[in-house]
Amino acid sequence: MTATLTRQQFDEACQEFIHAHQSISSAYEARLSGWSWKEHHTLPGFGYMHRIITLNWRHPASVDTFLEIDGGLDVVDDGTTASHDSPDSLTCHQFVVLSATFRVPTFYFSIHASSGSPLQLTDIMKTSLLREDVCEGTVATTFAVSHPATNFPFLSQGEHPTARHALLVLSPMRNCKCSSRDPQGIRRNQQETAGLDGGLVHSVEYRRGHAV
């Protein structure tokens, strides 16, 4: 069964999740905390979760070679984005939004250096946000990172449905495969989904015991 959520289910699950993880009693809980609920400034029914966390470079002194860059597309260094050379800690804005198309929670984010410059896609793959092995076999352009065998990019640029900001988005198609009646499947999907801390997105779904 494909797992989808109604707007009401999503809203309730998110707010329950936020409330449940307000207190920090362990390192695991710490990774799930810090979220707040946001609404569109004029219209109801467009709420989402948001938080800001600090990240680091996965290998600050090394040059990663996991990522195969599409040779036909230049990764342009125009000086307006931060590079891996920066030793600074990184600020990550994270959002969990209900995908209107796939009806599943979708993870949007942006990462900025201390200067405020956003990271390019290739440098984002080198941060502590994503597991190291996630990039293996992927092909990257300035717009997206894709596994050749999949229909949708694993990671791509996107627009926050409510706030209209330019962000990066993990493919919501991965979340579509999660079944509410298969907790093992949920945990496997958690591991697949770029190793995000605590499988946040799937925690939201699993908590509600969702069904179509």
Binding site for another protein (CB under 8 A): 40, 42-43, 46, 73, 76, 78, 80-81, 100-102, 110, 112, 117-118, 120-121, 141-144, 151-153, 156-159, 161-162, 164-166
CA separation for the pair 179, 160 (Å, rounded): 25
Smallest distance, Å, CB 26 to another protein? Answer: 34
User: Which residue type does 99 have?
Assistant: S
Smallest distance, Å, CB 124 to another protein? Answer: 11
CB of 22 or CB of 83, closer to another protein: 83
CB of 8 or CB of 26, closer to another protein: 8
Q: Are 145 and 138 in contact (CB under 8 A)?
A: yes
Smallest distance, Å, CB 74 to another protein? Answer: 9
CA distances from 97 to 22, 92, 93 (A): 19, 16, 13
> Taking the alpha carbons of 110, 46, 96, 1 in that order, is the dihedral positive or negative?
negative
CB of 24 or CB of 166, closer to another protein: 166
Smallest distance, Å, CB 20 to another protein? Answer: 27
CA separation for the pair 104, 101 (Å, rounded): 8
Tokens of 44: 């109801």
